[in-house]
Structure 1
């Protein structure tokens, strides 16, 4: 199977290729502004904001995993500001370009890196209680969208394009509302807290550190579980359009994975609760 990953050189893209690129069933091409670090992955340097620059690279591809996104300074996941910015406009163009190119090239399936922030106001409204084991909130694929930011709204825009492509152009579309995938060195439920220590944001014995750990114990999507979920989508031929949550089998998660289990055969191996401390 020939698979193009936009933004493939980043944290989420390398989580996929770290676990799948050496398998003979797949041939991965990373399309990014930077070269991919894995020699098993074909690397194309191109800007997804330019349709003509990316369109030829979708020819003869069976699937596209669309991860590429321009970082937002205003309207990012922790900012409730509603404002049109150049970066916001670029993301709208990027997502439309990729969907248009996939349709024009006859790609069979698109796996879209949506985000938990497409429904992030459920967390905002219920935090910090949901970060602890006695919370009973479950957010599944049937809930009403509740973006917590312009970033979250962009993800819903991508889901809308996917629905249009699925129903009008027979593209199978998988919206993965991804939770927390970390870089290799932080791939554990203490990862965000440890990264904050390394940046000098807080100390290990601080309340901020403890709250980060409590939250990520529920939000963690290990790199291998993320790659497995993507593989489940690549191997599926039953979905027209559907929404799934990208999260490991964490005891205190508030996002549903039963739907992914039932439809895709998702079988995550990791649970944030099994970690008592960061690796040494």
Structure 2
């Protein structure tokens, strides 16, 4: 009986240690894993190298990635995000530079979501804050890019075939960004409710800005999803935000 008690105690201790390691990223030192120096300005090659290192670390331990709430690795996550150029909606003199910046974000998005957008409940809870920061950045840049495109680049060219094709392509991409971000709110996803609410607010703030640029089929798709989650979300605050958004959009032309 004493031996059995000792074995149970050891197993409980190991399980506790495992949980503690999960919270501290299993003690893996990212900076000693070939990660680019965060003290210098990164090139595109540095950013790609960072993704490769993190992908390798995640294969060793799912919970080893840098996080905003971890004082030891918060600066690493911030370096990754800051190394992806933002779309500046005020820079109307360099439209193609801003469109290129948006293109770079879209290009690295699979890497970002591959790292922080895990399908498991444990990953979603652990990386909830990082996932929402990535999606917020996507939504804001998609909105800024849309405003530059429709209000400046395509202004006066609306009837040309180039304008029609470019608008259709851009709107199709924007719809995917907003629709995918709304999926985070689904009750089956286990991100933190406060992070889901932040996404709902970000969707609301930005979708209203580009609604007038969207084609009818784009509007219908997004309105259906907004309306669905305004009823089915597991948070009354989120339901309120999306209900108000649906009402606002229904009145927009």
Q: Which has the higher helix share?
A: 2
Question: Which structure's relative contact order is higher, taking Cα pairs within 8 Å and 6+ residues apart?
Answer: 1
Q: Which has the larger radius of gyration?
A: 2
Please, what TM-score do these two structures have when normalized by structure 1? 0.31
Q: Which has the higher strand share?
A: 1
